[in-house]
Amino acid sequence: MAFESFNEFIAMGGHAPYVWAAWGVTGALLVAVVLHARAERRLLLRNLQRRVRREERQGANRGEMAGVSHQTGGNHHDT
């Protein structure tokens, strides 16, 4: 242990502002990067699920309408 007490550790021999600023910014950025990656993944999975569900619904609708009118090609225009 390079320090006698916890207060001494915090004070960093008078270099506290420099040491803690450098370490703080580094730590904050690493955490932010991980949180961003997690949010990104969740969002993409959710969007993908939503799209797959929507297209399944549209697919089902199109299937019903196929027998009625083929020319309009189902309900493409409602989105």
Partner 1 sequence: MWAFINKLRSPKWFYAIGARLQPFFWVAAAALILVGTVWGLAFAPADYQQGNSFRIIYVHVPAAFLAQSIFVSMAMCGLVYMVWKIKVADMAAAMMAPLGAAMTFVSLFSGAVWGVPTWGTWWMWDARLTSMLILLFLFLGVIALRGAFSSRDSASRAASVLAMVGVINIPIIKYSVDWWYTLHQPATFSITGRAAMPMEMWAPLLIMVLGFYSFFIALTLMRTRSEILRRESNKRWVRDLAGEKR
Q: What string marks each residue from 25 to 54 as x (binds partner 1 by CB under 8 A) or -?
A: xx--xx--xx--x--xx--xx--xx-xx--
Closest distance to partner 1 from the beta carbon of 58 (Å)? 14
Q: What contacts 74, CB < 8 A, 6 or more positions away?
A: 58, 61, 62, 65, 66
Closest distance to partner 1 from the beta carbon of 75 (Å)? 20
Q: Tell me which residue of 63, 55, 60 sits closest to 79, measured CA to CA.
A: 55
Residue number with CB closer to partner 1 (23 or 75): 23
Q: What contacts 22, CB < 8 A, 6 or more positions away?
A: none
- Residue in 3, 60, 63, 75 binding partner 1, rule: CB under 8 A: 3
